[in-house]
Structure 1
């Protein structure tokens, strides 16, 4: 049982603060605020937690290295990012470059040296750590489960999944066994809040890259509405955060003990 918490980092290296053209508070909008508090007790349940310490503004570990828009980088990198999607065009690629209401985040476009430093210092080590832990778990027992844990703002009206406070993503059945996802959905509904599957968040780069059910590695993304555990000052509400931490630890224990019907062994 491996838990990934890629967007909860709150450390801003000096190089990042020197390069930004906006106050740090704007960069903090990128964070999954205090999402790590939800995973705080997962280790007690036998899980290994891989947690980002550096902030998402350095690099987004839930984006692939090729996910940027040409207009967001130095001209020398344009050919490297030739097919941007909606999020990349909005400035939310592997290096976040823009946010609504504050415009460009950096004093100058991301050049080759800045991209290399960010990837080598943060993005690649994070994925290497995930891969290492998943391989170790699979070696020990023939299978591994990855939960990629995130938080989200309330889903706006008119958007798929509106009203849901937990979204469970498995890339529409491609990154985890169906019985395993059913177990997560059952646990989510046990909190007494609306839960949906794959809408509007089906799972990002982490579950897509590491989830290989045919090899015994199952990956599921969980998004949790921040209003379930944060107070109005965006700090954790102690009682509600503790309740979610207990819930997540119990879920981790159930997943770690999942029987063969939910979690098939890898093909050898």
Structure 2
């Protein structure tokens, strides 16, 4: 199988690792930097229970992936940055949503009150279990059950966030603060929003300053612009559940979402990497090295 193809898997979900963790230091040792990378949307495993209910094939559903973002940031652990990346597809369970952010209309049985989400994301078909992929294509041929949703949440969402929280806690314990960077990619069309004459290359989302101290997006922006990239802040993406949930500057946990324009590295029609992939990966490695070596004294406890 080509390394870039989606993988439909028959193995029971309970026997599969829902994510991969690559620590910058051996387990139990203090991480050398306060930085943690996360890639919640780059998974490409499509479990059999999902595909049995789907109206689309795995290749079609792949349009919801942040394809290859985990590969773009793979150098992180070599540079002192711990990394967690999803293995299950975003459409199976979206790890950048609250666990029970569910659409009642997708389910055959009545959801518990706590799972009847009324968010804009659910209304758009993009809750914790997505209803649609790009261009509004319906993913499922039938309604799901709450038991199926619970299996995905307990088997993937909860353990992923438990592992991410541990990585952040380890960084915080070692350095007195932690920096989480949540990596994503955006459709080229989204990069043109906001009345821009030219599309942006990268969008930095800090929840309009609520998720991290200003020095973090400012430094990232400066480094990216020095590489020639056009950078925007918070429009059209200000940060999702991960940024909002973990970003607690008052507790010295700083979270920043980074969205990369797919036109830089991906053919969005075929979902194959373009010639720009290798160059972008090298530049993100350079960015990672700069952040790992940076003086973050302004974030340290006084």
TM normalised by structure 2 equals: 0.81
Deviation sequence 1:179-226 (CA, Å, 0-9, x none): 111001112212312110000000000111111111111110000011
Deviation sequence 1:27-86 (CA, Å, 0-9, x none): 111101111221121222111110011111110001112322332333411633445222
Alignment check: 8 A CA contact 2:63 2:134 kept? no
SS at match of 1:12: strand
Structure 2: gaps spanning 5 or more residues: 1-34
Distance 1:14 1:223, change over 3 A: same
Moved more, 11-20 or 195-204: 11-20
Corresponding residue number in structure 2 for 1:135: 169
Alignment check: 8 A CA contact 1:155 1:164 kept? no
Alignment check: 8 A CA contact 1:70 1:79 kept? no
Corresponding residue number in structure 2 for 1:233: 270
Q: How does 1:13-52 map to 2 (within 5 A)?
A: 13-52=47-86
Between 1 and 2, higher relative CO (CA 8 Å, sep ≥ 6) is seen in 1
Tell me which of 163, 170, 189 is aligned to 2:206: 170
Deviation sequence 1:105-144 (CA, Å, 0-9, x none): 1233232201110001111111111100000111111111
Corresponding residue number in structure 2 for 1:74: 108
Alignment check: 8 A CA contact 1:180 1:255 kept? no
Structure 1: gaps spanning 5 or more residues: none
Corresponding residue number in structure 2 for 1:247: 283
Stretches of 4+ moved more than 6 A in 1? none
Alignment check: 8 A CA contact 2:207 2:234 kept? yes
Corresponding residue number in structure 2 for 1:6: 40
Alpha-carbon distance between aligned partners in 2 of 1:83 and 1:119, rounded to the nearest angstrom = 15
1:265 aligns with 2:300: yes
1:218 aligns with 2:254: yes
Alpha-carbon distance between aligned partners in 1 of 2:195 and 2:205, rounded to the nearest angstrom = 12
Q: How does 1:137-216 map to 2 (within 5 A)?
A: 137-156=171-190, 159-160=193-194, 162=196, 163-216=199-252
The size of the alignment, in residue pairs, is: 265
1:97 aligns with 2:131: yes
RMSD, aligned α-carbons: 2.1
Corresponding residue number in structure 2 for 1:122: 156
